[in-house]
Structure formats: structure tokens, C-alpha cells
């Protein structure tokens, strides 16, 4: 945080605004938690754990909607869609369902995702 959200005074390291006296400790701790969870999200995606990365980026955004975290969430959406297409092509239905669950977390209710689920149910059903 570089400026006080109350009076726009320039801030140094202090957690109390030198101009208006606002206590910024809670806001600063949210900012740090947002950074921490963004970093967890980056690391877990790199480590091949996209489900954890999805949960971590949502947690980061719940503390603060930073441009970096929003950008990474958009990247994760694209990343998860690519994974979904790959799982569908390889008929890995369980992985496809798990990926759709992650996309639901990132995007909320989404018509396209519901249609993907219906498609998977149809394709994965054993012929009678
Ligand atoms: Zn202030």
C-alpha cells in the first residue's frame, strides 16, 4: 500500500497514517495475505496441482482484488480449459469432471460448463 485509502497521504512503513491517523494494520495484513496466496497459487500450479492453485487464487482475491491476482485467475481459466479439452480428447472423464469443478470455482455458474458436464455424462455412459 503506497497511499492511505482514507486521505491519500503517501505512506512509508507505518501502519497508522501520519496525516489522518487511520489504522491501516488490518488492510496491510489483507494485502500481505493476498500476496502470500497468489504466490501459493503460482507455486502449486507450477508443481502440477491446479486444484490447489484454483483454491489459492480465490483466497488471494478474497483478501484483495489485485491486478496481478486477477490476471493470474484469467490465466488459470485458460489453462484449465486447455486441460479440459485434453482430458475430453483422451476420454479421461474423471479428470474432466474435476477440471470443470475447478472452472466452476473460478467462474461461478456457467452455461458452457453445465453443457460440458452433460456431454461428459453422455459420452462416458456405458452402451446398453
Ligand atoms: Zn490517511
CA of 11 to the centre of ligand 1 (A): 8
Residue 128 predicted with pLDDT over 70: no
CA of 23 to the centre of ligand 1 (A): 9
User: Rounded to whole angstroms, how far apart are CA atoms 69 and 80?
Assistant: 16
Right CATH for 34-124 from 1.25.40, 3.30.230, 1.20.140, 2.60.40: 1.25.40
Q: Which residues contact 33 (CB under 8 A, 6 or more apart)?
A: 60, 63, 64
Task: State the first-to-last Cα distance of the chain, in angstroms, to the nearest integer.
Answer: 62
Rg (CA), the chain: 20
Stated length of the chain: 128
CA of 16 to the centre of ligand 1 (A): 8
CA of 59 to the centre of ligand 1 (A): 27
CA of 71 to the centre of ligand 1 (A): 29
Q: Are the C-beta atoms of 17 and 6 separated by less than 8 Å?
A: yes
pTM of the full structure: 0.83
Q: What is the pLDDT of residues 45-102, one digit of tens each?
A: 999 999 999 999 999 999 999 999 999 999 999 999 999 999 999 999 999 999 999 9
> Please, what's the b/e burial string for 53-72 (b: 16 or more CB within 10 A of its CB; e: otherwise)?
bbbbbbbbbebbeeeebeeb
CA of 36 to the centre of ligand 1 (A): 25
Residue-level pLDDT at 94: 95
Q: What is the pLDDT of residues 19-33, one digit of tens each?
A: 999 999 998 899 999
Confidence bin at 126 (pLDDT 50/70/90): confident
Confidence bin at 13 (pLDDT 50/70/90): confident
Average confidence (pLDDT) over 93-117: 93
Task: Name the phi and psi angles at 10, rounded to 5.
Answer: -70, 135
Confidence bin at 1 (pLDDT 50/70/90): confident
CA of 13 to the centre of ligand 1 (A): 13
CA of 56 to the centre of ligand 1 (A): 31
Compute how many other C-beta atoms are within 10 angstroms of the C-beta atom of residue 115.
Answer: 10
Residue-level pLDDT at 81: 96
For the chain, give every domain's residue range: 34-124
CA of 34 to the centre of ligand 1 (A): 22
Amino acid at each position: 500500500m503506497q497511499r492511505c485509502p482514507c486521505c491519500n497521504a503517501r505512506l512509508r512503513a507505518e501502519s497508522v497514517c501520519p496525516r489522518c491517523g487511520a489504522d491501516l494494520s488490518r488492510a496491510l495484513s489483507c494485502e500481505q495475505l493476498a500476496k502470500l496466496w497468489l504466490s501459493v497459487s503460482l507455486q502449486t500450479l507450477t508443481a502440477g496441482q491446479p486444484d490447489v492453485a484454483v483454491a489459492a487464487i480465490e483466497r488471494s482475491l478474497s483478501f484483495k482484488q489485485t491486478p496481478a491476482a486477477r490476471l493470474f485467475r484469467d490465466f488459470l481459466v485458460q489453462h484449465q480449459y486447455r486441460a479440459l479439452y485434453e482430458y475430453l480428447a483422451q476420454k479421461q472423464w474423471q479428470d474432466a469432471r474435476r477440471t470443470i469443478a475447478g472452472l466452476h470455482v473460478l467462474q461461478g455458474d456457467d452455461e458452457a460448463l453445465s453443457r460440458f458436464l452433460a456431454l461428459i455424462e453422455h459420452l462416458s455412459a456405458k452402451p446398453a
